[in-house]
Amino acid sequence: MCISYGDNYLFKNDNKTLQYDYNNNSIFKNNTGEINQRRLPKAIIIGVKKCGTRALLKFISAHPDVVASMNEVHFFDQNYYRGLDWYRNQMPLSLSNQITMEKTPQYYIHNRSAYRMTQTFSNIKLKLIVIIRDPIIRAISDYVQLTTKRKSNLTFEDYVFIKNSTIINDKWIPLKIGCYYHYFTKWLKYYSFNQIHFVDGENLIKRPWEELLYVQKFLNLTIQIQQKHFYFNHYKRSFPCIRNQLYQTKNGCLGSSKGRKHPDIKQETRTILKNYYKTCNSRLKQIAQINFSWL
Could you list the pLDDT tens digit for every one of the 295 residues in the chain? 333 323 332 223 333 333 333 334 455 555 566 778 999 999 999 999 999 999 999 999 999 999 999 999 999 999 999 999 999 999 999 999 999 999 999 999 999 999 999 999 988 899 999 999 999 999 999 999 888 887 778 999 999 999 989 999 999 999 999 999 999 999 999 999 999 999 999 999 999 999 999 999 999 999 999 999 998 876 656 789 988 665 544 567 877 666 667 888 999 999 999 999 999 999 999 999 999 999 9
246 burial level (CB within 10 Å; 0-12, 13-18, 19+): middle
Q: Give the CATH fold of the 39-135+175-256+280-288 domain.
A: Rossmann fold (3.40.50)
Give the whole-angstrom CA distance, residue 210 versus residue 225.
10
50 known ligand binder: yes
Candidates 98, 103, 64, 101; CA nearest to 244 is 64
194 HSE (CA, 13 A, CB side): 2
Task: Collapse the DSSP code of 76 into the 3-class scheme (helix H, G, I; strand E, B; otherwise coil) and give the result.
Answer: coil
β-sheet bridge partners, residue 233: 239
260 known ligand binder: yes
141 known ligand binder: yes
The answer to whether 187 touches 208, Cβ cutoff 8 Å, is no
Catalytic hit among 50, 58, 103, 127? 50
Using alpha carbons, list the distances in angstroms from residue 286 to 121, 125, 276, 280. 28, 24, 17, 10
234 burial level (CB within 10 Å; 0-12, 13-18, 19+): exposed
Provide the pLDDT for residue 32: 61
Q: Hey, where are the domains in the chain?
A: 1-38, 39-135+175-256+280-288
Using alpha carbons, list the distances in angstroms from residue 121 to 83, 108, 170, 240. 13, 17, 35, 33
Write out the H or E segment, with its range, that includes residue 11: strand 8-13
Q: Which residues contact 193 (CB under 8 A, 6 or more apart)?
A: 288, 289
Give the whole-angstrom CA distance, residue 42 versus residue 69.
12
Candidates 198, 162, 160; CA nearest to 176 is 160
50 is catalytic: yes
**Alpha-carbon 214 to chain mean position:** 15
Task: Collapse the DSSP code of 89 into the 3-class scheme (helix H, G, I; strand E, B; otherwise coil) and give the result.
Answer: helix
54 known ligand binder: yes
